[in-house]
Amino acid sequence: MKNLWNDQEAAKYTTDLEQRVYSSRLLGADPSLVLHGGGNTSVKARETDIFGEPVDILYVKGSGWDLASIEVPGFTPIRMDHLVKLAGLEALSDLQMVNEMKTHQTIASAPSGSVEAILHAALPYRYVDHTHADAVVTITNTEGGEGRIRDIYGDGVVIIPYIMPGFDLARLVAERFAAEATERTQGMVLMNHGIFSFGETAREAYDRMISLVDKAERYLAAQNAWELPKAADKRAPSTAMIEIAELRHQVSAVAERPMLLRRHTGKAVMQFCDHPELARLSQQGPATPDHVIRTKRVPMLGRDVAAYEEAYRNYFEEHAAHARTPVKMLDPAPRVILDPDLGMITVGKTAKEASINADIYAHTMQIIQRAERLGGWKALPARDIFDMEYWELEQAKLRHGGSAPEFQGEVVLVTGAASGIGRACVDSLMTRGAAVVGLDIDPAIESLYPRPDFLGLVADVSDAVALRSALEQAVKRFGGLDMLVLNAGVFPGGTRIAELSDRVWDQVMRINLDANLMLMRECYPLLRVAPRYGRVVVIGSKNVPAPGPGAAAYSASKAALNQLARVAALEWGADGIRINSLHPDAVFDTGLWTEEVLQARAKHYEMTVEAYKTKNLLKTAVSSRDVAELAAAMCGSLFAKTTASQIPVDGGNDRVI
């Protein structure tokens, strides 16, 4: 375990709270300590209130903040005296506890403090750190785990038996720590949960955390249980594009909402999926109950979604009757799928959620295998896991979670996505919650949006091999396809038919027509199993209903594409796939319209540039965003009963009318 403290960097953080920020980020930077919002930290401070009187404050990590990127506003200030009094109560529901903490914050706009705030307040140290260190969790999830912890740390830590986070844990810690801590105590281990360290300075608490976890790692190494055998090469897994899309369809049906799937086929993953005792190891439970909220109790083995759903319902019925408060069953869809051919597939309502679930289970795989080498993997009983999964605080979040974005859990592919109308479509669809795959010949597409719900791929849409590869990557990343926006195209310079070459004609037809035929044909099997039925939007042109001289190749290609879309609407309607066309005109904020071209065209019509840009019946400019917003709307519920339509987006053109 490497100590990342740097005195020069630390010196830039001058206050106690800023020091808390610095050391928290160091902890969050190591995924073997903290994963995606896990863990929490705090610092105690004395401040002056509005009356000029001293008040003791606990600054504790706020809900929704990640230690890796936390800032000063991410720490919630709560009055210490009230927290200490709460710790002395005989009983307090967790909902009441959260309310008491919220009403005793000294900054009303601060996020809700960690549910372990009372626990932090009860520990008699200025700085308190809490992580879910892989090494410690591994040891506590084995037969005889508590004895091993005592062997490693002696009286350097107080050991707390497992109890789920919340008031009961805080009260137990307050009692046990006061009775068992000595001057040699540097930390506290919560069985099957994690580890605490503390100190009078941020550095002391951080150094102790690193030292304590390092001891656990060294112990595992000495027992030949830290370094796992190098993953062996395995045959390259099949692309399985259609199988994954069909699996997504089934998972979404059980979840009763579109879900995203992400496929993982690294060596370590494939080796774990091939483990001869996978069923025993993977079906005991998560590495720490905190993870069950994201990944559910156990992963699904194989591809039988119906069997998993039935098993989950049985698990719920078995334990719900004994829950502390009445609970409503969560959706019974898996969040992790392990299959010897497909590898690991993680599931989420969003791309970020699927990615987080992958990170969590990648660590779970390591923890399970290390625990097996140490003496045998042993997770908590299903009842304890159920209590965490159906914790009243999580149930409250679900009740007050609000509505999801319109296209959350859905996937759209946009061609010509690096600029102009294509990029505007990307923006509009992502704003509505969709995961987007953008194709373009411009390499800038790959870095257009560095976020988990965007996949930018360089591809020539007229290259069948490149298109197939792009679709395979899209399905691997997001699990399928729900929407297709056919936008890529070329507009050659004005050429009369008498001067039109075969080369230009063939090029325009290949990109504007043939490429779209290929893409529609390849996407059809994916659109057919889209959870909410497939949708296609064709970005056509005013030249379809009203061609102009000098644009024979362009006009003919767009008209043929329009006819292709009409035929597809006839053929695919039985599958619930709807196809609609937009015919924009005079969209000047695209790469085709440079300032020089605008000046030349305006001069040709003896107009100013501004007048030329609004030479339509409504005297309005049409932007890429205008087209994109309508394209996104046509994929939504407003147009749910419309197919084969052709809608102009031109401000009113007398020739079209």
The per-residue pLDDT for range 2-38, each reduced to its tens digit, is 999 999 999 999 999 999 999 999 999 999 999 887 8
Q: Please give the pLDDT value at position 37.
A: 77
3-class secondary structure, 55: strand
The single-letter DSSP state of residue 226 is S
Domains of the chain (ranges; CATH) run 7-222 (3.40.225.10), 241-399 (no CATH), 411-587+622-649 (3.40.50.720), 588-620 (no CATH)
Per-residue pLDDT tens for 526-571? 999 999 999 999 999 999 999 988 899 999 999 999 999 999 999 9
Q: Please give the pLDDT value at position 235.
A: 66
Per-residue pLDDT tens for 152-161? 999 999 999 9
Residues taking part in catalysis = 554
Q: Please give the pLDDT value at position 495.
A: 87
Helix, strand, coil % in the chain, rounded to nearest 5: 45, 15, 40
| Per-residue pLDDT band at 454 (split at 50, 70, 90) | very high
Per-residue pLDDT tens for 193-237? 999 999 999 999 999 999 999 999 999 999 999 999 887 776 666
- Within a 10 A sphere around the Cβ of 451, how many other Cβ atoms? 12
Q: Please give the pLDDT value at position 236.
A: 62
> Residue for token digits 């401070």?
45
Both tokens assigned to 452: 């988990």
Angle at 388 between CA 385 and CA 393, to 5 degrees: 170
Higher pLDDT, 399 or 137: 137
Which residues, 6 or more positions from 256, have their beta carbon under 8 angstroms from its beta carbon?
331
Both tokens assigned to 31: 């995924």
Which residues, 6 or more positions from 423, have their beta carbon under 8 angstroms from its beta carbon?
417, 438, 448, 624
The closest alpha carbon to 118, from 162, 71, 157, 81, belongs to 81
pTM of the model: 0.94
Angle between helices 624-634 and 420-431 (to 10 degrees): 50
Longest alpha-carbon distance in the chain: 98
Per-residue pLDDT tens for 461-502? 999 999 999 999 999 999 999 999 999 999 887 789 999 999
Cα–Cα distance measured from residue 47 to residue 55, given in angstroms and rounded to the nearest whole number? 5
pLDDT at residue 402 is higher than 90: no
Burial of 575 (0-12, 13-18, 19+ CB in 10 A): middle
Both tokens assigned to 176: 């046990």
Per-residue pLDDT tens for 230-257? 877 766 667 789 999 999 999 999 999 9
The single-letter DSSP state of residue 240 is -
Torsions phi, psi for 157 (to 5 deg):
-135, 155
Report how far apart the first and last C-alpha atoms of the chain are (Å, whole number).
72
Q: Please give the pLDDT value at position 605.
A: 80
Cα–Cα distance measured from residue 176 to residue 251, given in angstroms and rounded to the nearest whole number? 45
C-alpha dihedral (147, 148, 153, 158), degrees to nearest 10: -40
